[in-house]
């Protein structure tokens, strides 16, 4: 785990920081010594997160930036704000996301069909869950390459949630981020920048699971479970994890060892048949 002394020199941008998983991770990062820019469009709740940071006596390293991720210039504005507020960016946590609860409060018991959705809603899901994290990672990586160090962590979802009935367009947008995470990791191999995926590992006790869902909330995954594996992914060590997919629900200190079921390669390696390609002289 990264020490507080090392973390003090690292600057984090985290999206969706106003509540849920994002709030828990932001506070955990602040507790660990990082400087954190909290990005969200919910001004009231991001203020509540900052108040919690103040109560924990870590508010002096917390900075807010209100942003709508669907805006055309959002990614550039966020990176520019990180330069002003933090002096740059070392770590990007792409956490913001829209969930199926935005479409139906009881999407498990009465799953909405994909053809019942509006064009506007589908585009909004792709903008927030797929396009925004891709653009943010692009702009962050360009800056990280200059310093030859960086960490990108993308929050996706469980594999079965990507294909579950009633989960369009949520499942597909998260699958796109999973796929792009694997591509990012391979593009950045050897650059000093790592790319990893972090998921709760199941239904988490956040607003993404509406009260009307019928789930016993005491059995939902606690948002704070994301913090320990996140800190492991951010560690400034020679063999830092790269191209890994981590399940927070099953995380233990032993999960950092090879072969633990909570840590696997990003994506769906080994499934299906590889593409048949002709020979290439280049």
CB 267 within 8 A of CB 199: no
Range of the domain at 23: 4-265
Per-residue model confidence (pLDDT) at position 108: 77
Q: Could you tell me if residue 173 is inside a domain? A: yes
Listed as own residue / partner, the contacts of 244-250 with beta carbons closer than 8 Å and 24 or more positions apart are 244/196, 244/197, 245/178, 245/196, 245/197, 245/199, 246/196, 246/197, 246/198, 246/199, 247/199, 247/200, 247/201, 248/198, 248/199, 248/200, 248/201, 248/221, 249/200, 249/201, 249/202, 249/221, 249/225, 250/201
Q: Is residue 282 part of a domain?
A: no
Q: Are 22 and 230 in contact (CB under 8 A)?
A: no
**Which ranges of 66-169 would DSSP assign to H, the alpha helix?**
74-86, 119-125, 132-147
Does residue 77 fall inside a structural domain? Answer: yes
In this prediction, residue 2 carries a pLDDT of 45
CB-CB neighbours of 201 under 10 Å: 19
Q: Is 278 part of a structural domain of the chain?
A: no
What's the whole-model pTM score? 0.93
Q: What pLDDT was estimated at residue 270?
A: 78
**Which pLDDT does position 1 carry in this prediction?**
43
In a domain, 170, yes or no: yes
Flag whether 179 is in a domain.
Answer: yes
What stretch of H or E contains 172? helix 170-187
221 occurs within a structural domain: yes
Collect the ranges in the chain with pLDDT lower than 50. 1-2
Residue 199 has what pLDDT?
94
What's the CATH code of the domain at 195? Answer: 3.40.50.720
* pLDDT tens, position by position, 135-149: 999 999 999 999 999
In a domain, 272, yes or no: no
Give how many domains the chain has, as a whole number.
1
pLDDT in tens, 262-278: 899 999 987 877 777 78
């Amino acid at each position: 785990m990264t020490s507080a002394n090392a973390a003090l020199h690292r600057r984090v941008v985290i999206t969706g920081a106003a509540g849920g998983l994002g709030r828990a991770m932001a506070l955990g990062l602040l507790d660990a010594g990082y400087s954190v820019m909290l990005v969200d469009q919910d001004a009231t709740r991001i203020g509540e997160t900052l108040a919690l940071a103040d109560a924990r006596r870590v508010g002096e390293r917390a900075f807010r930036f209100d942003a709508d991720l669907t805006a055309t210039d959002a990614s550039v504005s966020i990176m520019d704000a990180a330069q002003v507020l933090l002096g740059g960016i070392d770590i990007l946590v792409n956490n913001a996301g829209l969930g199926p609860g935005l479409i139906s409060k009881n999407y498990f018991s009465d799953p909405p069909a994909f053809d019942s959705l509006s064009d506007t809603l589908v585009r909004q899901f792709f903008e927030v869950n797929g396009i925004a994290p891709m653009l943010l990672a692009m702009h962050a990586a360009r800056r990280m390459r200059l310093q030859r160090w960086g960490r990108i962590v993308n929050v996706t979802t469980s594999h079965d949630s990507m294909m579950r009935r009633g989960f369009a367009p949520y499942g597909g947008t998260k699958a796109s981020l999973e796929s792009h995470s694997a591509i990012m990791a391979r593009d950045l191999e050897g650059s000093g920048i790592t790319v990893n995926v972090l998921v709760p590992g199941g239904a988490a006790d956040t607003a993404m699971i509406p009260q009307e869902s019928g789930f016993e909330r005491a059995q939902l995954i606690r948002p704070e479970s994301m913090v320990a594996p996140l800190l492991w992914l951010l560690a400034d060590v020679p063999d830092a994890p790269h191209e890994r997919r981590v399940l927070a629900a099953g995380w233990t200190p032993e999960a950092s060892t090879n072969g633990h079921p909570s840590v696997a390669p990003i994506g769906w390696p080994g499934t299906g048949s590889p593409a048949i390609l002709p020979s290439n002289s280049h």
